[in-house]
Structure 1
Amino acid sequence: MYPYNTENDGFKYNDTFTHSSWLLFIKNRLEVVKDLLKEDGLVFIQCDDNEQAYLKVLADEVFGRENYLNQVSVKMKQTSGASGGGEDKRLKKNIEYILIYTKNMNSENGFKKFNDFYDEVELFEYLETMKQLKKSWKYTRILKSVGTKEHIKTLTDGSGEPIEVYTHKGVVLEPIKKVMEEENLTEAECYLKYFDKIMRDTNAQSSIRTRVMEGVTGDHELLSIEYVPRSGKNKNKVTTVYYKGAKCDQIAWLSDIAVKRGKYIFKLEKAGTFWDGFPLNNLTKEGGVLFPNGKKPELLLQRIIEIATDEGDLVLDFFSGSGTTAAVAHKLGRKWIAIEQMDYIDEITKTRLKRVINGEDGGISKLVNWNGGGSFVYFELKRYNQAYQDGILAATSKGELDSIYNEMAQNAFLKFWFDKKDFEREESFRALSLDDRKVLLLQVLDENQLYLNHADMLDSKFKVTQEEIALTDKFYGAPNV
């Protein structure tokens, strides 16, 4: 997530760059991102349409076009009612964009695929659409009972691991319509009552099914197998699969493609590149901290983190803002690093993350059963030009400013165009008011050197203490000297 180069961005960075300086600002950071990414790592860059087209070209240059994966459109604002208003000649902007790149698509250890993720559609709305389109719906039978099972054979998979095969007697399999009539249930009531037992049979082509068909003789109403898959969503877990009839048709469960929540069932649809449904009302207060602009919904970050990472993976946010990425990563069992240079980090970002550790129940907390726990370590970079900036802003007299300037002229990092002789010969500077002098001195400071570079910490002129050096070495590793 990056500053968007608008006048409304909540990050409070210099967000009114010229077009070229904004691209340079982003380019420098994308190059660092690329260096830090693992071979199969992913970067998600969210922006609006002010710079989206140019950002895509820039990211292609940094990461390589072959490493571009997707551009996702995200609904981030509600549209106005019929009265309209807002943007006059232009359509209302309610979409933002996420560019997704990997580091090395063609590497042996490079990116393979996203984790599965789904949109949700209320089941009976979906069924109504199916009827209107005159398409058939296959999940129309209930396996009320699998009867009693009897072990009949042990087969092996391609790795030589066992596949235990069972036959079943006394199976009860009935159409949903028949069950509705017998039990006087509506269609919705029947689906809710028997959600975990509603099924269809499929002609699924798999090596395991082939082994069962070839290895089992005789006519069996229902077979089941127990084995441990070596890949897929049930990897390394004991898994049961059922096969029906002489053709060994594999049974597929409604519960594999849908979820039940209370009185509702939602069908899961593979998500594409348009994402919506995120809570946008009262978003500024999510996480228990007020952040008026630029805050992202926790549900959006949950989707990004879950499709791109596994538990224990490391998530890095270069512009952490109110700390949404770190908060969600923490709740999802990921390690994380959050970077922020604005002064609201103490009141907002750190406060929010402390609330997460203490078990705050907002955002995605209830969805993932978050009850608190964990910890984080907070470091502040050694200030350099930032110290001069703070001194200028706090000065109460021209004499104080003169003292700060004299030290700046000797030790600070100043803008490349600054000429000390010309500046000191400029009589108009002496005539400026205190506030106008502050503005001019702030303009002289190089804002890219607000903090001391790691490589400069051993230079005595920067007055880094031995304690600070020891802590830095422990965090980064000792520099090569």
Structure 2
Amino acid sequence: MLKLNEINVEKEGYELKFLGKNYSKFQSGLETETVIVPDIEHNSKEENINSENMYIVGDNLDALKHLLKSYSNKIKCIYIDPPYNTGSDGFVYNDNFSFTSEILSEKMGIDEEEAKKIIELRGKSNHSAWLTFMYSRIELARDLLTDDGVIFISIDDNEQANLKLMCDEIFGEENFIALLPTIMNLKGNQDEFGFAGTHEYTFVYAKNKEFLTLSELDIEEEELLEWNLDEKGYYKQGAGLVSTGTNSPRELRPNLWFPILIKEDKIVLPNIEIIKNLYNPLTKEFNDVFLKKYIEEQQKEGITVLLPYVKEREASWRWSYKKILLETDELILQKNKDKYTIYKKQRPSLSDLPSKKPKSIFYKPEYSSGNGTSELEKILEKERIFSNPKPFELLYDFFKIAIKQDSVVLDFFSGSATTAHAVMELNKEDNGNRKYIMVQLPEEIKEDKVAYKEGYRTIDEIGRERIKRVGEKIKEENPNVDYGFKLFRLKEVEQNMIDKIIEFDPEAPTLLVKDYIEAFKYENTTGKDTILTTWLNEDGYGLIVKSKKVKLINYEIDVYNNSAYIIEQGITSEDIIKLMEMIEDNNLSINRIVIYPYSIPFNIIHELKNNIKQLHVDVELIERY
């Protein structure tokens, strides 16, 4: 039947398909056309100047592309709370589609009709639009994670099935960790049809599950009563000392078959010579006659003899003779009527304090969505500033499970900045050095909203204000915590500037114009600072590094690590000669010189190239247009 209908089954397979999938992949491979603008005034403030936390204002797709230049494989944990595509959350796919269907068709190798349908996704909020929006972002985010990294994604029923398929495809089904029903409203939402909704979901995926380790959560005070305390710390009754596994019969583990004596309600071992007489390793025979006689002798002395049995079946001990001898204090002897049983002491597995493995149904009263709202209202001292912020306690527990004291956390749907709040609180409690990177689109707030009337114009302003207020409080409680943050904005280069850059001829004898640097000036940030910040990140040095000023004759260059940057106008032949001398004399240890040709006359560039060829060390000249 298949052959008659000319159906090619070889092309069919289990996969996630949606309109826009190939475009989303294509999009993730495109270079961003934005530049990184540091907020010099903000970043120079006392609380921010040495901070390693970052807040990026801009489209998160562009932000992820910039971050990959310097932070690939460096993010331990990602948490995101993306749009749920409920139909009322305001989500629409909003790509600017800077090319026509003809160009898109040519670039992607698809027919023009499909390209046209992809472009028509703009402004839509259907499943394909949401998946097209999310796929490229999750794909890029994966590459930012460390090999032992983990991502948490909040979602509800509208897209959770699609998100599962997408994450299985990007991370691999083998790296799925959990789908946590997360109880946000225990009373239930009475507006929902049929059932009063109590929860949403949290997906947890590892980059490589084999490398991932997760911590446990602290137990509640009442649960602490289940634990005992000795000189070594907390413990409770663990597994019995008798092995119950399929490999437990004494024939399979003869070295673990021996008597344990109970004298005056204490565990004592027989002399080692007695143990040696119980089993002959050459003949592989047990000396049961000797054992029986030994037991009778001990019983005459009022000593109880225990042997490893499971329901009258011969078994073996879990511990060796030597281990029991050395760690007798790690055993619990329990007596029930005239029968003795030995148990191991169970110690806390991950720290000195008792903890517990989180359950797959994630619930605490503090996780309620109402808690998230009241927390933010308390911090900002105003009601209804932000809709449905994630509760602080929920993210606090996620990070407690997922990250160590020096990890980096990324949230590229930052919203009200609950992630930053949770990271700072964790650091406050254990003097940790965790860092956060927040990314938020400067989404405009409508004039009829309370937030607008309170002076907030974009969503990122709300998040940044929360971080500042929480930081001030944390500073009072633990001044050792990094409570500041560096602020950056992503800006698109104006089209007329792009046209000038494309048309620029470095060999033409035209006069240099300031526009090539000044075009990148934004508010209090110079064009040079914008270019330098973007380049340092592009070269893998990150967003928060500080370059060193190196004086030549009359010109200063910026140096970081093994790279020197020449961006501004004014460098002369004398400066070039001085630069070569410093490199040759090892007064300047660099192997890359990155120049901005729009600022440097052609003859100076030519002179620089010739001088570099004469050096006794290898130095690469990089021209960035």
TM interval, shorter chain, is: 0.5 to 0.7
* Stretches of structure 2 lacking an aligned partner (at least 5 in a row): 1-80, 95-122, 244-254, 268-326, 335-339, 428-433, 444-457, 500-514, 522-526, 541-593, 595-621
Deviation per CA, 1:451-470, whole angstroms, max 9, x where unpaired?
A: xxxxxxx9879646112112
Match of 2:180, SS state, is strand
Residue 342 to residue 241, structure 1, CA distance change in 2 (3 Å)? farther
Q: 1:278 to 1:74 in 2, by over 3 A?
A: same
Task: Indicate if the aligned counterparts of 2:389 and 2:416 stay in contact, CA closer than 8 A.
Answer: yes
1:22 aligns with 2:166: no
Q: CA deviation at 1:85?
A: 4.4
Looking at structure 1, the residues matched to 149 and 479 of structure 2 have their Cα atoms a distance apart, in angstroms, of 29
Paired with 2:341 and 2:531, the residues of 1 have a C-alpha distance of 69
- 2:488 is aligned to 380
* CA pair 205-327 structure 1, distance change in 2 beyond 3 A: farther
Partner of 2:420: 326
Q: 1:272 aligns with which of 348, 356, 359?
A: 359
Contact 1:314 1:335 in 2 (8 A): yes
Which residue, out of 297, 315, 321, partners 2:409?
315
CA distance in 2: counterparts of 1:198 and 1:463, whole angstroms: 62
CA distance in 2, matches of 1:461, 1:301: 42
1:54 aligns with 2:143: no
Residue identity opposite 1:350 in structure 2:
R
Q: Within the alignment, does 1:286 sit opposite 2:379 as a pair?
A: no
Give the match for residue 196 of structure 2: 92
Is the contact made by 2:331 and 2:345 (CA closer than 8 Å) also made in structure 1? no
Counterpart amino acid of 1:321? G
Deviation (angstroms), 1:121: 9.2
Which of residues 462, 469, 472 is equivalent to 1:355?
469
Identity between Structure 1 and Structure 2 (%): 28
Q: Secondary structure at the match of 2:486?
A: coil
2:442 paired with 1:342: yes
Residue matched to 2:582: none
Shift of 1:66: 1.5
Render the CA deviation track for 1:128-179: whole Å, top value 9, x for unaligned: xxxxxxxxxxx79x89x98xxxxxxxxxxxxxxxxx9xxxxxxxxxxxxxxx
Matched, 1:471 2:553: no
Verify the 8 A CA contact 1:79 1:94 in the aligned structure 2.
yes
After superposition, the Cα gap between the structure-2 partners of 1:35 and 1:256, relative to the gap in structure 1 and judged at 3 Å, is closer
1:285 shift after superposition = 3.2
Q: Which position in structure 1 is the counterpart of 2:617?
A: none
CA distance in 2, matches of 1:51, 1:197: 44
Alignment of 1:98-117 (within 5 A): 98-106=202-210, 110-111=211-212, 113-117=213-217
Kindly report which structure 2 residues correspond to 1:2-401, keeping only aligned pairs within 5 A, or say none: 2-9=82-89, 17-80=125-188, 85-87=190-192, 89-106=193-210, 110-111=211-212, 113-117=213-217, 120=220, 200=237, 203-204=240-241, 242-243=330-331, 249=342, 252=345, 270-279=357-366, 280=368, 281-287=370-376, 288-289=379-380, 291-333=385-427, 334-343=434-443, 344-345=458-459, 347-359=461-473, 373-384=481-492
SS in structure 2 of the partner of residue 301 of structure 1: helix
For 1:10 and 1:18, the matched residues in 2 are separated by 12
Give the C-alpha shift of residue 69 in structure 1.
1.4
Q: Which amino acid aligns with 1:70?
A: A
Where 1:21 maps in the other structure, the secondary structure is helix
Instruction: Kindly state the Cα deviation for residue 355 of structure 1 after the two structures are TM-superposed.
Output: 2.2
Deviation at residue 330 of structure 1 after TM alignment: 1.8
Change (3 A) 1:372 1:357: farther
Q: How far apart, CA to CA, are the structure 2 residues paired with 1:75 and 1:241?
A: 42
Distance in 2 separating the partners of 1:63 and 1:300: 24
Could you tell me how far apart the structure 2 residues matched to 1:122 and 1:65 are? 38
CA contact (8 A) 2:425 2:474 kept: no
How big is the shift at 1:252?
3.6
- Residue 47 to residue 346, structure 1, CA distance change in 2 (3 Å): closer
Q: Is the 8 A contact 1:278 1:299 kept in 2?
A: no
Q: 1:24 to 1:202 in 2, by over 3 A?
A: closer
**Secondary structure in structure 2 of the residue aligned to 1:379:** strand
1:21 Cα shift? 1.4
Q: More displaced, 344-353 or 10-19? A: 10-19
Give secondary structure in 1 for the equivalent of 2:146: coil
User: What per-residue deviation string (whole Å, max 9, x for no partner) do you get for residues 30-61 of structure 1?
Assistant: 01111101111001111000011011111111
Q: Relative to 1, partners in 2 of residues 1:461 and 1:74: Cα closer, same or farther, differing over 3 Å?
A: same
State the Cα distance separating 1:475 from its structure 2 match: 4.5
Matches within 5 A, 1:421-460: none
Q: Compared with structure 1, are the counterparts of its residues 357 and 241 closer, same or farther at alpha carbon in structure 2 (3 Å cutoff)?
A: farther
- C-alpha change, 1:100 and 1:338, in structure 2 (3 Å) is same
What amino acid is the match of 2:415?
G
TM-superposed CA distance for 1:297, in Å, is 1.2
Q: How many residues align?
A: 314
Q: Read off the aligned partner of 1:90 and give its amino acid letter.
A: G
Q: Which structure has the higher relative contact order (CA within 8 Å, separation 6+)?
A: 2
Q: 1:23 to 1:199 in 2, by over 3 A?
A: closer
Counterpart amino acid of residue 32 in structure 1: L
Structure 1 or 2, whichever has the larger Rg, is: 2
Question: How many angstroms does 1:372 deviate by?
Answer: 7.5
Residue 115 of structure 1 contacts residue 306 of structure 1 at CA under 8 Å; is this kept in 2? yes
The 3 A distance-change label for structure 1 pair 252 and 52 is: same
Closer, same or farther: CA 16–219 of 1 in aligned 2, 3 Å: farther
Paired residue secondary structure (2:423) = helix
Contact 2:148–2:208, Cα closer than 8 Å, also in 1: yes
Distance 1:244 1:338 in 2: 50
Which amino acid in 2 is paired with 1:308? A
Q: CA deviation at 1:329?
A: 1.2
